[in-house]
């Protein structure tokens, strides 16, 4: 009888053990990573930091909707890691919050709303390109205790949408729709008007009807314009006493390139997310002739901090700036003509790279994107 009772007890114990094993589901086996069991005091951010991966990787790999709800004893898959590590524990609340990116949010608008620098957000989230932060992703905001509501982006004005086809340019699209290319670029946040992707959707503001067709290929290119290049010797008097003309001539229809070369930095915010340029940098060999981009009067010729030898020319409606020069060939109050040589290019202050820095500013000295004003 005691043996029978003992057998029953053993059978009951085995059954309970089987039920317990069935109820506990082990995480699916996945290659190329390890599983980490969340302990008391750990957060998704501290786990990511300990394993040297960014928070987005953990969120994506584990399909986490709310990072703040990752609980104790839950299992997190850490991709591309060969062994588990010890995560430093803390009894304090996580020093930061998570922000769910919504349609219209940018890393800059998020940083501004939370009063945090963009580089800090990039570092805390392992972001290399701030322009690639998409909607529905999650951003960790360090050293913040409360969420804030970001202002809704303004609605786009009335207009139509146009899908870019192969062979079309921003200029041909603007011409067909009867809109200034600068206005079209501003409506679509385009920095470089010479480069638009096929199949990109453009918003054409203040337009109601679609045109029949946009010319492509050679038909989209304007007829070449003839330009006359004049030398500095034919325009700048040798005797300084003969510099008698004071009034700048009227502006002609178009600027010309101050020098031909590869554009190595464009106008506006740079890829690092926080550096901003008011002009463009053109890669040229040291000693390359630099010409006046438009008729005008030399306002300044001399050295400027961070820019080296610099020439500033006043035009009828604009100003142009030429920096990183090796030698200036003009003096203040000199009258120069479009295409006239005014300097030789030099090297960039600090880096020592041979290049020319060029700006276009309006009459109020507000910087403009030179690519919208220079010939294509």
Kindly report the pTM of this predicted structure.
0.44
**Which residue, 372, 312, 34, is CA-closest to 184?**
372
Q: How confident is residue 222, by pLDDT bands cut at 50, 70 and 90?
A: very low
Q: Do domains 96-142 and 159-220 have the same CATH topology?
A: yes
Q: How confident is residue 285, by pLDDT bands cut at 50, 70 and 90?
A: very high
CA dist 299 and 198 (Å) reads 43
pLDDT at 15: 60
Residue 357 has pLDDT above 90, yes or no: yes
Distances (CA, A) of 314 to 31, 162, 183, 242, 347: 65, 38, 24, 20, 24
Q: How confident is residue 203, by pLDDT bands cut at 50, 70 and 90?
A: confident
As assigned by CATH, the class of the 232-372 domain is mainly beta
Domain ranges, ordered by start, for the chain? 96-142, 159-220, 232-372
Q: What is the largest CA-CA distance in the chain?
A: 130
pLDDT at 14: 63
State the chain's mean pLDDT as an integer.
76
More confidently predicted of 74 and 25: 74
pLDDT at 298: 94
pLDDT at 148: 79
For the domain spanning 96-142, the CATH number is 3.10.350.10
Q: How confident is residue 223, by pLDDT bands cut at 50, 70 and 90?
A: very low
Q: How many CA atoms, within 13 angstroms, populate the side-chain half-sphere of residue 159?
A: 18
**Which residue, 198, 208, 191, is CA-closest to 169?**
198
End-to-end CA separation in angstroms for the chain: 102
**Which residue, 314, 274, 271, is CA-closest to 296?**
314
pLDDT at 236: 35
- Using DSSP, state whether 203 is helix, strand or coil: strand
Give the tens place of pLDDT for each residue, 106-128.
877 888 888 887 777 777 777 77
More confidently predicted of 294 and 149: 294
Give the tens place of pLDDT for each residue, 159-191.
777 888 888 888 888 888 888 888 888 777 777
CA dist 210 and 293 (Å) reads 36
HEC states along 262-327? EEEECCEECCCCCCEECCEEEECCCCCEEECCCCEEEEEEEEECCCEEEEEEECCCEEEEEEEEEE
Give the tens place of pLDDT for each residue, 307-321.
899 999 999 999 999
Give the tens place of pLDDT for each residue, 69-116.
677 778 888 888 888 888 887 654 456 788 888 877 887 788 888 888
In percent, how much of the chain has pLDDT > 70?
73
CA dist 58 and 47 (Å) reads 9
For the domain spanning 159-220, the CATH number is 3.10.350.10
pLDDT at 1: 52
Structure tokens, 273: 């997310």
Task: Tell me the mean pLDDT in the region 358-363.
Answer: 92
- Cβ–Cβ < 8 Å for 58, 44: yes
- Give the other-Cβ count within 10 Å of 307's Cβ: 16
**Which residue, 342, 340, 337, is CA-closest to 315?**
337
């Amino acid at each position: 009888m005691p043996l029978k009772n003992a057998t029953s007890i053993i059978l009951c114990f085995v059954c309970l053990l089987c039920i317990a094993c069935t109820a506990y589901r082990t995480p699916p086996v996945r290659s190329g990573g390890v599983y980490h069991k969340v302990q008391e005091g750990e957060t998704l951010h501290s786990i990511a930091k300990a394993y040297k991966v960014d928070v987005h990787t953990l969120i994506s790999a584990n399909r986490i909707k709310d990072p703040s709800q990752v609980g104790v004893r839950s299992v997190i898959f850490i991709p591309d890691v060969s062994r588990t590590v010890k995560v430093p524990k803390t009894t304090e609340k996580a020093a930061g919050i998570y922000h769910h990116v919504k349609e219209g949010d940018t890393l800059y608008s998020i940083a501004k709303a939370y009063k945090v620098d963009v580089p800090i957000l990039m570092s805390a989230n392992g972001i290399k390109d701030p322009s690639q932060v998409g909607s529905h992703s999650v951003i960790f905001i360090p050293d913040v205790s409360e969420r804030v509501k970001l202002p809704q982006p303004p609605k786009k004005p009335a207009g139509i949408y146009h899908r870019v086809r192969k062979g079309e340019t921003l200029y041909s699209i603007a011409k067909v729709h009867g809109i200034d290319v600068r206005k079209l670029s501003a409506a679509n946040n385009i920095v470089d008007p010479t480069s638009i992707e096929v199949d990109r959707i453009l918003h054409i503001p203040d337009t109601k009807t679609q045109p029949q067709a946009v010319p492509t290929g050679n038909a989209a290119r304007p007829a070449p314009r003839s330009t006359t290049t004049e030398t500095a010797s034919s325009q700048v008097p040798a005797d300084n006493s003969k510099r008698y003309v004071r009034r700048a001539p009227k502006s002609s229809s178009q600027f010309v390139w101050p020098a031909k070369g590869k554009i190595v930095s464009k106008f506006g915010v740079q890829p690092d997310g926080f550096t901003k340029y008011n002009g463009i940098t053109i890669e040229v060999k040291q000693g390359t002739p630099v010409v006046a981009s438009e008729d005008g009067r030399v306002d300044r010729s001399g050295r400027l901090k961070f820019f080296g030898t610099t020439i500033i020319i006043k035009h009828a409606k604009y100003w142009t700036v030429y920096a990183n020069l090796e030698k200036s060939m003009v003096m203040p109050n000199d009258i120069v003509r479009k295409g006239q040589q005014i300097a030789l290019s030099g090297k960039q202050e600090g880096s020592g790279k041979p290049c020319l820095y060029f700006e276009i500013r309006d009459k109020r000295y507000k910087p403009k994107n030179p690519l919208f004003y220079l010939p294509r």
